[in-house]
Structure 1
Amino acid sequence: MFFAMTCAAHAEDLVGKRVPPFPDGLQQGGGSCISAGTQDPCRRRVSVLINAAGKQIGVYASISDGHDEKGRPYGIVTDLVPYPKIRKGYHLDWGSCRYDRVEDGAVVAVVRDSKRRWLPAVEWAYRVDSASGKLVNLDPARVDCFNTALEAD
């Protein structure tokens, strides 16, 4: 129970549940649609789970399950992994990554900040499996992510 110490609610109990709402003390802290050329451009998502103190505690995958009356999406959580330890000068990236140099919007990885066009993953990389929705551990040496900060400069 890796989340038990960081939040009173059991985050691992989210798998199989429809969100939002999230259990007390938990909320989504950003994420990205995974477009796989389907009619629903946001059929799957990868998102960050944060606790009431604003601390990132997990990365979760979900599959779309309709929208509320204001058009906000619901999702069924399909998997959840602990949020990686991220050192200074690194960040979590998603939506712009490649696996074996092939673009793959289902990949999420920790990358080192630099001025390079493509940032290599270090120590932590996962991919949301399109069939099962599970977060599959990847070899970080085979993952890199586009440096979107270059476009902001």
Structure 2
Amino acid sequence: MWRFALFLAMTCSAHAEDLVGKRVPPFPDGMKQGGGTCISAGTRDPCPRVVGTLMDATGKEVAVYASILDGRGEKGKPFSIVTDMIPYPKLRKAHHLDWGSCRYDNVEDEAVIAVVRESRRTRLPAVDWAYRVDRTSGKLVKVDPARVDCYNTALEAD
């Protein structure tokens, strides 16, 4: 059984890597987009870049990807070109991946994504893992997690 699980993980990872430079959707082999956010940076287009997660057919997150808008389909659904992809981070208990509400050096930056530990604090410091989508190249660039924090949106749900 574990061999099959390893084979499945390797197969999904290999197909995910093949997405760089490709137009999506559709995604290969039952994969689908998970959560994500627009990276607008004050441009005329409200969402020229996106950072999102890629899920396998079982619903498990397998990758984080960056993309750039590449038009819309007949029903207005956006298409994008995948510009970079990295493995989804391993998350410990009470940790999650955050995007869209993070700061780098105390400056709001919607291109930053980070792993944070859940708590009741207003700002959650990044823990061990933080990246930023470079707005020019579309690459996911590792940044110092000590310089990143994210707004705790869970407080609004309470």
Range into which the TM-score falls when normalised by the shorter chain: over 0.9
Equivalent pairs, count: 151
Letter in 2 for 1:121: A
Letter in 2 for 1:119: L
After TM superposition, the score normalised by the length of structure 1 is: 0.95
Q: Distance in 1 between matches of 2:9 and 2:61?
A: 14
Counterpart in the other structure of 1:129: 134
1:12 aligns with 2:17: yes
Deviation at 1:25, TM superposition (A): 2.5
After TM superposition, the score normalised by the length of structure 2 is: 0.92
Instruction: Write the deviation string for residues 50-95 of structure 1: whole angstroms up to 9, x where unpaired.
Output: 1001110000000000111111110000000000000110100000
Stretches (4+) displaced over 3 A: none
Task: Say which structure is richer in helix.
Answer: 2
What are structure 2's unaligned runs of at least 5 residues? Answer: 1-7
Q: After superposition, where does 1:69-88 map in structure 2 within 5 Å?
A: 69-88=74-93
RMSD across aligned positions (CA): 1.4
Deviation at 1:6, TM superposition (A): 5.1
> What is the percent sequence identity of the aligned residues?
74
Over alpha carbons, which structure has the higher Rg? 2
Alignment equivalent of 1:109, drawn from 100, 114, 117: 114
Counterpart in the other structure of 2:26: 21
1:55 aligns with 2:44: no
What are structure 1's unaligned runs of at least 5 residues? Answer: none
